[in-house]
Amino acid sequence: MFAAEATGFAGRPLPLFYSLSQGGRAILAARGSAQPDRHGLVMRDVGASLLKSVVRPDRRGGAFGLLCEALDSARLVNGVELGALLCSLPELGNPVYPVPEGWPLPALMWPEPTESWGVPPTRVRTAVVLGGQLQTADHVRQYLAPYPISTEVTWEVAGEPMRLPHLMRSPTPAGYGVVIDWHVSTLDEVASEYRWFGRRWLRPAVEPGGRSVPIPLMVWWALLFGLSILARYHPVEWVRALDLDRSAVAVPLRRVMEEALIGLPHLVLEALTDQQILVSPPDGI
């Protein structure tokens, strides 16, 4: 990781990915799993827009599949665009720095005090910060269709059973959120805290029509693998994509490599110790 920090953006995906690869070997060793002889991913479909490039699972197996098994993570079934991987990560899918193609973003979720609302103990009320011009409960259901949790548990938009004419909204630290009731006993059944105290996100599926999403560490793995392929085998296109004056994706791509320096050690440590580690959130998270 020190080498990655000292490397410019053009070459940084390579030491980032290989640092993560070594971390993956340590995770497998700690869990008594076999050591891989290949990465477990391939990327042959490089699009004119680099974030449209598709990462696919290697049918011969390898590190990605072994780690998904060891960490009880969903796997990739067919293929996923780099942009979908980037946008699905809570630390990267930020509407302040949008990616032009518009893949679904994580949705911040905040608990609501159920005592004041009179919500039954078998439900949890939340305010979910959603994008778009949502006016009705049907709009919310359409918006959340790409999010696996929307089919994994029963939920309803607050006020929906009473056919309220407008969505109920509640203020949160990240803006107004749509009030949603989840038919669960604890919030962890919907979304557990991730990296920072009190921060929970609904995460979209990364594959088209997918009903599961790999854990963030494995999304990072696939994303950095793809970026390392671009940096190594498509350097002209890669450097052009990093040009702040000419590329619409330069800022998101640079943010990937900056955030990786902070987030990857955190996630690898969690996987090695098999314990969740939370810290105070930085400003804006």
| Residue in the block written with tokens 């993570």 | 73
- Among 219, 227, 217, which Cα is nearest to 4's? 227
Q: What is the pLDDT of residue 118?
A: 72
Give the confidence band of 117 by pLDDT, cuts at 50, 70, 90. Answer: low
Check whether 159 has a pLDDT greater than 90.
no
Check whether 69 has a pLDDT greater than 90.
yes
Q: What is the pTM of this model?
A: 0.94
Check whether 114 has a pLDDT greater than 90.
no
Mean pLDDT for all residues in the chain: 92
End-to-end CA distance of the chain: 24
- Region 262-281: mean pLDDT is 96
- Among 277, 272, 284, 259, which Cα is nearest to 5's? 259
- What does the domain layout of the chain look like in residue ranges? 2-104+205-273, 107-202
Check whether 162 has a pLDDT greater than 70.
no
Give the confidence band of 122 by pLDDT, cuts at 50, 70, 90. Answer: confident
CA distance 166 to 162: 11
Give the confidence band of 223 by pLDDT, cuts at 50, 70, 90. Answer: very high
- Among 149, 151, 152, which Cα is nearest to 191's? 149
CA distance 219 to 55: 11
Give the confidence band of 132 by pLDDT, cuts at 50, 70, 90. Answer: confident
Cβ–Cβ < 8 Å for 198, 10: no
Check whether 59 has a pLDDT greater than 90.
yes
Sign of the CA dihedral with 44 first, then 47, 49, and 53 last: negative
Q: What is the pLDDT of residue 96?
A: 59
Cβ–Cβ < 8 Å for 95, 201: no
- Region 101-108: mean pLDDT is 89
